[in-house]
Amino acid sequence: MIHKLLASGSRPTYAVLTFDTSSQSLELIKESPAPPNSSWLEQPRVKRHIDGKQLVYADSEDNGLVFALEIDDQGHVSVRGERKTHGETAHVHCLKDGSGVVSSNYIGGTVIFHPIEPSTGLLIAESDSVPLGFPYPYQNQEPPNKDRQEANHLHQVIEHEGGKLYCPDLGADRIWIIERREASGLEMTGWLQCPAGSGPRHAVISADGSHLYAIGEMSHNVFAFDLNDKSLPLDPIPHFSVNIIPPTVPFSHQALMDSAEILLHPIFSGTMYVSNRWELRIQERESHLAALSERQTGDAIAIILLSQGGTEVDRIVHVRTGSDVIRGMQITPDGKYAAVGGQEGGGIEIYEIRGPRGEEWVKVAEEKFIKGIKDFLWL
């Protein structure tokens, strides 16, 4: 079987690669011009095509834009429309009902709905959508992390069944609950309260919709919420807090490792993957620290095996990669392969996911010369 993979990031081009599962080879087939720092990619729940070309969405973090992209059979990527997000964009989410996409702004601390044309999936050029802002809970007081939490920093939008949206806010230590209002409006209706100074970055919702798991970028801990509990604000499940830092890094060196991505295995619902960053560059970022005793090949991915009810941790293991600063990783829909990228080095690596619960990762292919990778899509 041959998979196509779209890669983007802090690079001048989008890269389309093919991964052949039979020969276990990864090949770059096409590069196309990309807007500055296109750091997130997203595709609709049901894949859409226009004249045989696949339609996906992307952002430009630097320019504050969201784009509709077309990808043809040869891997050429072209822009088919854009909308302003009125901030510096961190994430784009395709609504499950197909009505539009919602982007979140890290700088600006807002989210905004972008309607799409139902027949084509292209972004509608004009709409009444306006950015939705949020209260800043640390107003007139010093936040837990004064360097990172000086304002709201919206980092992601994910969707529960029924259209309810959850938006992690690194600056506020909250995950905002948002609901649609009328044709183009959004309204904040509550929040999940995260631990002080944790800086929630990304989250996932369990397959049965009962739990939300979030990674704190600054605390490096995964915490969980019971979504069946309708009380608001909602606190995390007591005693569920899993640190993802590998044992190679002492506590004194963990401050700026900036945990990044969190994923659930699409088949093994109790298996979670969370990426670490910056282990190879700790001393570069904090020159006063002593070098670690052992030089690693790349950052580690934490594999968390949950209990049957999803409220306890059975086991945590780490996979050592060759990627320098893992910001993006994505799993094939069948759960058999994972793509991992190194923002600062190491290129793109493909891992075969094995084991009775998806807890074994074996590297089967790589493309070492692609730089600046921040996100992927399995097309």
User: In the prediction, which pLDDT does 183 show?
Assistant: 76
Residue 369's identity, in one-letter code, is F
Q: Rounded CA gap, 154 and 176, in Å?
A: 9
Q: DSSP letter for 116, please.
A: B
Q: Rounded CA gap, 289 and 260, in Å?
A: 22
Q: Which tens digits make up the pLDDT trace of 218-228?
A: 999 999 999 99
Nearest to 207 by CA among 290, 272, 155: 272
User: In the prediction, which pLDDT does 75 show?
Assistant: 97
User: In the prediction, which pLDDT does 293 show?
Assistant: 87
SS3 208: coil
**H/E element holding 282?**
helix 282-285
CB-based contacts of 334-340 (< 8 A; 24+ apart in sequence):
334/266, 334/267, 335/265, 335/266, 335/267, 335/268, 336/21, 337/3, 337/19, 337/21, 337/364, 338/273, 339/5, 339/7, 339/19, 339/376, 339/378, 340/275, 340/301
The answer to whether the beta carbons of residues 281 and 303 sit under 8 Å apart is: no
Nearest to 194 by CA among 214, 178, 177, 173: 173
Q: Which residues of the chain have pLDDT under 70?
A: none
Cα-Cα-Cα-Cα torsion 347, 353, 358, 360, nearest 10 degrees, comes to -80
